[in-house]
């Protein structure tokens, strides 16, 4: 690990191991799939059903097939992860977690020994059904083996924070990890120090000011800030011999930026607004612009509207990847699954009361109304698509009552208490009341999502597609809606629908991965077990 001297360029990282591709766990034998040393190329038939409404309000459904060629570059290369807010609870926890896994650490706790793992990461902790064997048994493989992906142990980690505290002291400040584990990673963590960052006080709670001792001069957007952050990314990449860098915002929740015509409504206006120091341009949007210009995918793990229309247009202009918003870690993940179950079971959900209190710095920042409002929006919109899809239960525009409450209670620290009540109408005037008390160790739930977001975003930089008659392959749309499963308020390409149903989000992720190796979506029909 290259030690990091104060004030020099990019923070040293937990340098990972080799970035070479491991031998694939499986191969697909098909005339439509070709493996070369550099790539996996597939010819894929994407089947949809086109529905039109007739004059008498009936529907006509027409099966359609679309031919796509997919290509996955097999060489992962050496990948860097730069976290904005590196010194925070999530930043320190994910860093310590990767070090612990890389070294295979085991530590003592009151309940006995615990070993490093990646539980809570869909990529590292879950499996995908590949198919069935000749006896009809399902064959499930580790998600991470589906396509060539960077291993989190190999990620080189760095980042920025307005707090200059080193990662070891920040880890102590976070109060998330067991002392026995902290001692095992302390030496490596102590070598890491966040780079100075941009700090525009109006965008986060005033109660954060006492942390801001590691800031780049200037309290509002400027092009110098963009160029400073661009240089940080380039330096980090060069000093660590990286092939690519993924930048992820896990800094404090910002207030929403007003969308102002002539300021942030188009790419050109946004760039001009930054150059003119417009006070409505947030630090997270400045980070997004700098990352786009460095062709570093930028992911927003917080709920604010970082991606104002001008930022999305700017990403499209440069064919750069962006994704967001707001890690979906505990209460909302549960909500998106439970609401999906209730409504798709024909149970009429009529009210959702979501309360939680927590005592970490995130909760402290959210105790300020403007920052809470950003979170309230991302936590409230998660049911919209599921409600809108069921016209049997809900009339046009009808939806369940839904309230979100967050309180800051320092005593409970990172161990958020979430209390939810789901109230529904059932058969013949009956009611069902579901009450959930959910203690989430928030940073231990969110940190694996950081890994998922970075690993999938990196993979998407190596996936391209074309239609049969096209000459060139190209990347997916700049807005990586494939990341939705990990996010509360999924950002989607302008004009496309937002899907929040958790099962649909996971299905999209796994079936796009299947398409990249020429396999049809997993339908779970198991006709082979029904038609005989």
Ligand X SMILES: O=P([O-])([O-])O[C@@H]1[C@@H](O)[C@H](O)[C@@H](O)[C@H](O)[C@@H]1O
Cβ closest to ligand NAD, residue 20 vs residue 217: 217
Report the greatest alpha carbon distance in the chain.
73
Q: Which two tokens stand for residue 141?
A: 């493989």
Q: Which two tokens stand for residue 199?
A: 């700090």
| Active-site annotation holder among 78, 182, 328, 416 | 416
| Active-site annotation holder among 326, 340, 385, 420 | 326
The three-point CA angle 305-299-508 to 5° equals 100
DSSP string, 136-175: S-EEEEEGGGSS----GGG-EEEEE-SS---HHHHHHHHT
Report d(CA 298, CA 507) in Å as an integer. Answer: 23
Cβ closest to ligand X, residue 347 vs residue 409: 409
Report d(CA 4, CA 236) in Å as an integer. Answer: 12
- Evaluate whether 368 touches 483 at the Cβ level (below 8 Å): no
Please confirm, yes or no, whether 133 is among the known catalytic residues.
no
Residue 40: how many other CB atoms lie within 10 Å: 23
Least Å from the CB of residue 188 to ligand NAD: 19
Burial 77-104 (b: 16+ CB within 10 A, else e): bbbbbbbbbbbbbbbbbbbbbbbbbbee
Cβ closest to ligand NAD, residue 90 vs residue 505: 90
Report d(CA 104, CA 115) in Å as an integer. Answer: 7
Least Å from the CB of residue 107 to ligand X: 26
Cβ closest to ligand NAD, residue 245 vs residue 519: 245
Least Å from the CB of residue 518 to ligand NAD: 35
Least Å from the CB of residue 214 to ligand NAD: 8
Please confirm, yes or no, whether 326 is among the known catalytic residues.
yes
Among candidate residues 493, 378, 454, the one with its CA nearest the CA of residue 122: 454
Q: Which residues contact 29 (CB under 8 A, 6 or more apart)?
A: none
* Dihedral, CA of residue 80, residue 322, residue 505 and residue 352, to nearest 10: 110
Burial 117-148 (b: 16+ CB within 10 A, else e): ebebbbbbbbbbebeeeeeeeeeeeebbebbb
Find the residue with minimal CB distance to ligand X.
332
Report the Cα 36 to chain-centroid distance in Å. Answer: 31
Q: Which of ligand NAD, ligand X, none does residue 251 bind to, with CB < 5 to 8 Å depending on kind? A: ligand NAD
SS3 of the chain: helix, strand, coil, percent, to 5: 35, 25, 40
> Which residue has 């990847």 as its token pair?
321
Cβ closest to ligand X, residue 78 vs residue 488: 488
Least Å from the CB of residue 443 to ligand X: 9
Cβ closest to ligand NAD, residue 198 vs residue 454: 198
| Active-site annotation holder among 78, 237, 364, 488 | 488
Least Å from the CB of residue 356 to ligand X: 4
- Evaluate whether 163 touches 211 at the Cβ level (below 8 Å): yes
Report d(CA 409, CA 417) in Å as an integer. Answer: 10
Q: Which residues contact 146 (CB under 8 A, 6 or more apart)?
A: 128, 510, 513, 514, 517
Least Å from the CB of residue 484 to ligand NAD: 14
Least Å from the CB of residue 94 to ligand X: 14
Least Å from the CB of residue 370 to ligand NAD: 13
Cβ closest to ligand X, residue 313 vs residue 331: 331
Q: Which of ligand X, ligand NAD, none does residue 363 bind to, with CB < 5 to 8 Å depending on kind? A: ligand X
Q: Which two tokens stand for residue 404?
A: 């979100």
| Active-site annotation holder among 220, 364, 375, 379 | 375
Cβ closest to ligand NAD, residue 87 vs residue 518: 87
Burial 388-421 (b: 16+ CB within 10 A, else e): ebeeebbeeeeebebebebebeeebbbbbbbebe
State the residues that interact with ligand X by CB under 6 A.
Answer: 328-332, 356, 358, 362-363, 366, 375, 379, 406, 416, 440, 442
Please confirm, yes or no, whether 335 is among the known catalytic residues.
no
Q: Which of ligand X, ligand NAD, none does residue 374 bind to, with CB < 5 to 8 Å depending on kind? A: none
Q: Which of ligand NAD, ligand X, none does residue 356 bind to, with CB < 5 to 8 Å depending on kind? A: ligand X
Q: Which of ligand X, ligand NAD, none does residue 155 bind to, with CB < 5 to 8 Å depending on kind? A: none
Q: Which helix (H) or strand (E) holds 2?
A: none
Cβ closest to ligand X, residue 185 vs residue 418: 418
Cβ closest to ligand NAD, residue 264 vs residue 365: 365
Backbone dihedral angles phi then psi of residue 409, each to the nearest 5 degrees: -130, 90
State the residues that interact with ligand NAD by CB under 6 A.
Answer: 84-85, 87-91, 160-163, 197-199, 204, 211, 250-253, 283, 301-302, 326-327, 329, 360-362, 365, 442-443, 445-446
Catalytic site positions? 326, 375, 416, 488
């Amino acid at each position: 690990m290259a030690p990091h001297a104060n004030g020099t360029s990019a923070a040293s990282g937990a340098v990972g191991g080799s970035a070479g591709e491991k031998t694939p766990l499986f191969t697909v034998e098909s005339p439509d799939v070709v493996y070369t040393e550099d790539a996996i190329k597939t010819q894929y038939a994407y089947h949809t059903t086109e529905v039109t409404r007739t004059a008498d309000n009936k529907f006509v459904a027409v099966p359609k097939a679309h031919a796509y060629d997919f290509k996955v570059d097999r060489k992962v290369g050496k990948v860097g992860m730069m976290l904005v807010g590196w010194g925070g609870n999530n930043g320190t926890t994910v860093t310590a977690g990767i070090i612990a896994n890389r070294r295979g650490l085991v530590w003592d706790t009151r309940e006995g020994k615990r070993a490093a793992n990646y539980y809570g990461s869909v990529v590292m902790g879950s499996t995908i059904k590949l198919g069935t064997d000749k006896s009809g048994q399902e064959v499930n493989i580790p998600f991470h083996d589906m396509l060539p992906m960077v291993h989190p142990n190999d990620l080189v980690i760095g980042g920025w924070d307005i707090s200059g505290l080193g990662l070891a002291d920040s880890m102590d400040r976070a109060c998330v990890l067991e002392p026995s584990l902290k001692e095992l990673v302390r030496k490596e963590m102590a070598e890491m120090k966040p780079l100075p960052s941009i700090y525009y006080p109006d965008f986060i709670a005033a109660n954060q000011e006492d942390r801001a001792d590691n800031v780049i001069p200037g309290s509002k957007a400027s092009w110098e800030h963009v160029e400073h952050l661009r240089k940080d990314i380039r330096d980090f990449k060069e000093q660590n011999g990286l092939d690519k860098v993924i930048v992820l915002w896990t800094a404090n929740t910002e207030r929403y930026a007003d969308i102002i015509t002539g300021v942030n409504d188009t790419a050109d206006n946004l760039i001009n607004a930054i150059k003119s120091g417009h006070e409505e341009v947030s630090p997270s949007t400045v980070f997004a612009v700098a990352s786009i210009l460095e062709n570093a995918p930028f992911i927003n793990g917080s709920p604010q509207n970082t991606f104002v229309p001008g930022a999305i247009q700017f990403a499209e202009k440069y064919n750069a990847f962006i994704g967001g918003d707001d890690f979906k870690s505990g209460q909302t993940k549960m909500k998106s699954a439970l609401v999906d179950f209730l409504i798709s079971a024909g149970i009429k959900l009529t009210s959702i009361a979501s309360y939680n209190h927590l005592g970490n710095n995130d909760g402290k920042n959210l105790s300020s109304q403007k920052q809470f409002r950003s979170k309230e929006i991302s936590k409230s919109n998660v049911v919209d698509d599921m409600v809108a899809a069921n016209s049997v239960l809900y009339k046009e525009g009808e939806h369940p009552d839904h309230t979100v409450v967050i309180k800051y209670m320092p005593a409970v620290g990172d161990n958020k208490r979430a209390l939810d009540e789901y109230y529904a109408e059932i058969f013949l005037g009956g009611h069902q009341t579901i009450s959930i008390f959910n203690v989430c160790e928030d940073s231990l739930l969110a940190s694996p999502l950081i890994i998922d977001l970075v690993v999938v975003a990196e993979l998407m930089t190596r996936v391209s597609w074309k239609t049969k008659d096209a000459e060139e392959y190209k990347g997916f749309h700049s807005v990586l809606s494939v990341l939705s499963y990990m996010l509360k308020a999924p950002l989607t390409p302008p004009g496309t629908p937002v899907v929040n149903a958790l099962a649909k989000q996971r299905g999209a992720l796994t079936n796009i991965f299947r398409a990249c190796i020429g396999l049809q979506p997993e339908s779970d029909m198991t006709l082979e077990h029904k038609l005989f």
